[in-house]
């Protein structure tokens, strides 16, 4: 019956259509849909329709998410997760005592391990940014749902986890994104999630949190909790109180709006919100929160918020640009140990400004003062025109630069006069002229004329006739007198004896480079050099002619404290030991009885030596001096050369700064001992006029004397005085008969050197008529003939 009924329900003449089999590929790729339809096929129509209506888009959504996962997964692979541990941070600069003196390069960041951060801060940042951080994966689905509902209510709230924020910050995913670019924002968010999944798989939760607190922005271009804590509260993150920790966590929501430097009221409001969230998350009690709200907030004072410039840091930065690779500069994170002693650096800055303030307070002072410049409105200040100065302090036996001052205030003028300014050096160059002459055989005791320069006397000088600073002339004096009293005429004659080529060679080896022009006025320092060059050059005198290359960077270490770079001492022999010793002995007299005698009057009683320098019309005032341990050069003047004050000698303006600095250095352990030397001395008889070995003629003329002379500059046994040749003596006929037979071709007589404390030797006759030496013309120092005329610069005075 049933079979017959079934047949009657079918149309006559038609057979049932065969059911099509599903495509294998369709089953493979769309099996969730097939499964849904297969499962719901036997259900009632309403249920089947409802499940298929909800299930189909859900499955489609899963397909879409899978597709996004594949696409953004491949895109996320291009981002190197190693960058998380390569966050650029500040390079820390230390002085030789380990005191921090500045931070440069990288970003405003100092990486701090999570274990070294206050526990209250960890609780605060989690309560504020990601309460379920330790319980969810890369994405917080509960947070997303909550944020969705809040946004429907019109309240803006994000759902990014700490891991997502880290991905966005490290890889700069928001760069260039503008408000309203919905598609771009969605693209960035999907990529952010994909990278977050990779980070969550690669790192532990603590590692992610540590990277996050060291990466995120805290306003004012400050990156990381370490730098933020230091700049805002001047303390390490481990020392943050609950109130400070909550305030710091509150800044993260709006770094440029909620930091306490911008708005203390906004910062306190966000602190209170964070404390409330900590209570809600059961991280602290309500009583703790109430107590924290009462705590007054003390931040870095306004006058210390701006970056303080430093001339020493400027010089260090210049050296690092040469030493470091570009990558090291960009990433930072290094520790630079310098040669600077911050204690001496501070004293040098204060001593210079103190002396120049005293100068500005003098009655009738005609120039702009620093105080007057500071009182001008900011828009009217311009570049300062007040009197400036510079100081460079070097350790003799190493070349380490202990202090470097390039002006009165680096925040007011960034021009570093210590290394960039080239100023006329005047009489402080004279020691190097004498050094060249001593190298060539002149003796400190050799008699030199202090009379007027005669026409044609100085090679290459034509009619140039420099005067002495006092306008007076003298007679014959030892060469040392010319340096002790800074006599221009004697110094020019001594330079003429050495020759321009020799003087320039000595100046180059001492550290002046190729600066010296080959004109006779250069003997008086009419050319320019920097305080750095002057300080370096003067170190050869306490070092027996050895010069150490000055340096500022002694060691560089990476984040793991591995030593990347060290600076070895680099000495070289710049001049003869004996010549340097001879000049040093004279410069010690300069500091006791010469132009630098104020060293003693101002209270520095330890052994010292040095030379003042003053250029024409008191435009530049110099003092360069040294003890057994340190060498220091000081310059005072205007950036645009002009008269400082009447009587603005180096001894009045520059030398007091040197004394203040050296007194402090001696107290701090840089003890000034005796200026000993390792020079090897020989005792020989010399002529005061020629500086050569004495002959019998020198004894007869009364110019012979006995002295101790450095072996490396002592005249040879045949280098005899040419001004006083030995005189032949008459003899009797009996002496002639008793003399041995003369050779067939007798040689002319030769004068022999005189040993110590022996009577002069007498030359023997070689023919019947005794010979007599010819009289010597006027006994004056040799004067070279002019060979050309050149325009000369005005000579400096002292």
Mean pLDDT, rounded, for 386-406: 98
pLDDT > 70 in the chain, percent: 86
pLDDT at 23: 65
Confidence check: pLDDT of 693 > 50: yes
Separation of alpha carbons 469 and 561, rounded Å: 57
pLDDT at 119: 96
pLDDT 10s digits, 171-221: 989 887 777 788 888 888 889 999 999 999 999 999 999 999 999 999 989
pLDDT at 141: 85
Q: Which of 262, 285, 303 is the C-terminal boundary of a domain?
A: 303
Dihedral (CA of 374, 378, 381, 384) sign? positive
Q: Which of 303, 326, 356 is the C-terminal boundary of a domain?
A: 303
57 inside domain: no
171 inside domain: yes
* 609 membership: H or E segment, kind and range: strand 609-614
To the nearest 10 degrees (0 to 180), the angle between helices 45-76 and 31-40 is: 160
Alpha-carbon distances, residue 645 vs 614, 618, 649, 653, 767 (angstroms): 12, 7, 9, 10, 72
Separation of alpha carbons 222 and 402, rounded Å: 31
Of 109-118, 154-163, 239-248, 290-299, which gets the smallest average pLDDT? Answer: 154-163
142 inside domain: yes
* 529 membership: H or E segment, kind and range: strand 528-529
Of 153-162, 498-507, 607-616, 618-627, which gets the smallest average pLDDT? Answer: 153-162
How confident is residue 302, by pLDDT bands cut at 50, 70 and 90?
confident
pLDDT at 174: 87
Domain that includes residue 273, residue range? 109-303
User: What CATH number is attached to the domain comprising 217?
Assistant: 1.10.3810.10
pLDDT at 737: 45
Mean pLDDT, rounded, for 490-501: 96
417 inside domain: no
Specify whether the CB–CB gap between 136 and 161 falls below 8 A: yes
Separation of alpha carbons 665 and 516, rounded Å: 32
Of 21-30, 183-192, 494-503, which gets the smallest average pLDDT? Answer: 21-30
Name the domain count of the chain: 2
Mean pLDDT, rounded, for 142-148: 76
Q: What is the DSSP string of 698-764?
A: HHHHT-EEEEEEEGGGPPPTT-B-SSSPPPB----HHHHHHSPPPPSSPPPP---PPPTT-PPP-BP
Confidence check: pLDDT of 749 > 70: no
152 inside domain: yes
How confident is residue 19, by pLDDT bands cut at 50, 70 and 90?
low
120 inside domain: yes
How confident is residue 650, by pLDDT bands cut at 50, 70 and 90?
very high
Mean pLDDT, rounded, for 276-282: 95
pLDDT 10s digits, 459-482: 999 889 899 989 999 999 999 999
Confidence check: pLDDT of 170 > 50: yes
Nearest to 450 by CA among 468, 463, 428: 468
70 inside domain: no
pLDDT 10s digits, 579-630: 999 999 999 999 999 999 999 999 999 999 999 999 999 999 999 999 999 9
Please give the DSSP secondary-structure letter assigned to residue 400: B
How confident is residue 48, by pLDDT bands cut at 50, 70 and 90?
confident
Mean pLDDT, rounded, for 409-438: 96
Mean pLDDT, rounded, for 88-112: 93
Q: Which of 273, 303, 333 is the C-terminal boundary of a domain?
A: 303
pLDDT at 40: 82
Task: Tell me whether strands 681-687 and 704-710 are parallel, antiparallel or unpaired.
Answer: antiparallel
Separation of alpha carbons 750 and 748, rounded Å: 7
Between residues 365 and 790, which one has the greater pLDDT? Answer: 365
Confidence check: pLDDT of 152 > 70: no
How confident is residue 561, by pLDDT bands cut at 50, 70 and 90?
very high
pLDDT at 717: 86
Mean pLDDT, rounded, for 236-264: 95
pLDDT at 760: 41
Confidence check: pLDDT of 307 > 80: no
705 inside domain: yes
Mean pLDDT, rounded, for 709-726: 88
Between residues 362 and 784, which one has the greater pLDDT? Answer: 362
Task: Tell me whether strands 630-637 and 681-687 are parallel, antiparallel or unpaired.
Answer: unpaired
pLDDT at 99: 95
Specify whether the CB–CB gap between 579 and 713 falls below 8 A: yes
pLDDT 10s digits, 757-788: 444 444 343 333 333 333 333 333 433 333 33
Please give the DSSP secondary-structure letter assigned to residue 516: -
Confidence check: pLDDT of 2 > 70: no
pLDDT at 244: 96
Which tokens is 208 given?
């992610």
Confidence check: pLDDT of 386 > 70: yes
């Amino acid at each position: 019956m049933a079979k017959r009924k079934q047949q009657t329900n079918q149309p006559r003449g038609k057979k049932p259509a065969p059911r099509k089999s599903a495509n294998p590929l369709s089953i493979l790729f769309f099996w969730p849909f097939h499964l849904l339809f297969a499962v719901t096929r036997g259900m009632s129509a309403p249920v089947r329709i409802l499940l298929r209506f909800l299930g189909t888009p859900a499955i489609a959504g899963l397909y879409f998410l899978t597709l996004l996962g594949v696409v953004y997964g491949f895109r996320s692979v291009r981002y190197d997760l190693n960058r998380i541990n390569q966050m650029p941070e500040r390079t820390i600069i230390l002085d030789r005592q380990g005191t921090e003196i500045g931070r440069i390069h990288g970003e405003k960041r100092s990486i701090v391990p999570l274990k070294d951060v206050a526990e209250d801060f960890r609780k605060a940042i989690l309560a504020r940014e990601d309460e379920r951080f330790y319980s969810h994966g890369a994405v917080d689905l509960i947070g997303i749902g909550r944020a969705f509902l809040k946004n429907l209510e019109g309240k803006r709230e994000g759902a990014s986890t700490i891991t997502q924020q880290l991905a966005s910050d490290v890889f700069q995913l928001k760069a260039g994104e503008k408000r309203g670019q919905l598609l771009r924002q969605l693209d960035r968010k999907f990529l952010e999630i994909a990278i977050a999944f990779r980070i969550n798989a690669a790192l532990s939760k603590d590692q992610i949190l540590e990277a996050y607190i060291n990466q995120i922005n805290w306003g004012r271009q400050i990156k990381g909790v370490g730098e933020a804590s230091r700049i805002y509260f001047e303390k390490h993150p481990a020392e943050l109180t609950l109130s400070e920790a909550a305030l710091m966590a509150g800044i993260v929501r709006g770094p440029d709006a909620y930091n306490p430097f911008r708005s203390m009221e906004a910062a306190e409001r966000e602190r209170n919100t964070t404390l409330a969230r900590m209570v809600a998350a059961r991280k602290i009690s309500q009583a703790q929160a109430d107590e924290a709200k009462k705590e007054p907030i003390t931040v870095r004072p306004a006058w210390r918020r701006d970056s303080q410039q430093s001339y020493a840091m400027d010089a260090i930065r210049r050296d690092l640009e040469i030493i470091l690779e570009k990558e090291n500069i960009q990433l930072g994170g290094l520790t630079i140990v310098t040669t600077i002693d911050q204690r001496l650096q501070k004293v040098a800055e204060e001593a210079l400004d103190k002396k120049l303030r005293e100068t500005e307070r003098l009655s009738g002072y005609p120039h702009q003062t620093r105080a007057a410049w500071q009182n001008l409105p900011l828009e009217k200040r311009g570049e300062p025109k007040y009197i400036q100065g510079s100081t460079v302090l070097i350790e003799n036996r190493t070349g380490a630069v202990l202090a470097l001052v390039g002006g009165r205030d680096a925040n007011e003028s960034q021009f570093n006069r210590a290394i960039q300014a080239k100023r006329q050096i005047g009489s402080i160059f004279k020691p190097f002229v004498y050094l060249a002459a001593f190298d060539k055989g002149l003796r400190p005791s050799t008699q030199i004329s202090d009379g007027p320069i005669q026409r044609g006397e100085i090679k290459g000088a034509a009619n140039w006739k420099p005067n002495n600073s006092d306008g007076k002339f003298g007679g014959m004096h030892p060469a040392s007198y010319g340096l002790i009293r800074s006599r221009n005429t004697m110094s020019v004659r001594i330079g003429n004896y050495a020759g321009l080529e020799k003087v320039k060679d000595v100046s180059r080896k001492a550290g002046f480079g190729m600066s010296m022009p080959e004109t006779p006025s250069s003997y008086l320092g009419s050319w320019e050099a920097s305080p750095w060059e002057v300080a370096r050059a003067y170190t050869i005198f306490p070092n027996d002619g050895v010069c150490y290359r000055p340096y500022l960077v002694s060691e560089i270490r990476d984040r793991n404290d591995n030593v990347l770079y060290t600076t070895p001492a680099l000495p070289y022999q710049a001049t003869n030991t004996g010549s340097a010793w001879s000049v040093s002995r004279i410069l010690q007299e300069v500091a006791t009885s010469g132009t630098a005698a104020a060293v003693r009057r101002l209270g520095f009683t330890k052994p010292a030596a040095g030379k003042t320098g003053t250029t024409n019309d008191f435009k530049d005032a110099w003092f360069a001096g040294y003890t057994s341990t340190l060498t220091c050069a000081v310059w005072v003047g205007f950036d645009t050369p002009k008269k400082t004050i009447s009587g603005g000698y180096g001894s009045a303006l520059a030398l007091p700064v040197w004394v203040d600095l050296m007194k402090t250095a001696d107290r701090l352990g840089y003890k000034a001992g005796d200026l000993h030397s390792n020079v090897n001395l020989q005792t020989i008889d010399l002529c005061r006029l020629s500086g050569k070995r004495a002959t019998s003629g020198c004894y007869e003329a009364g110019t012979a004397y006995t002295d101790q002379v450095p072996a490396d500059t002592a005249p040879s046994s045949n280098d005899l005085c040419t001004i006083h040749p030995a005189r032949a003596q008459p003899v009797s006929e009996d002496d002639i008969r008793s003399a041995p037979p003369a050779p067939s071709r007798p040689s002319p007589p030769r004068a022999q050197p005189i040993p110590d404390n022996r009577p002069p030797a007498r030359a023997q006759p070689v023919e019947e008529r005794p010979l007599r030496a010819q009289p010597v013309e006027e006994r004056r120092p040799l004067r070279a003939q002019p060979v050309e005329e050149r325009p000369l610069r005005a000579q400096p005075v002292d």
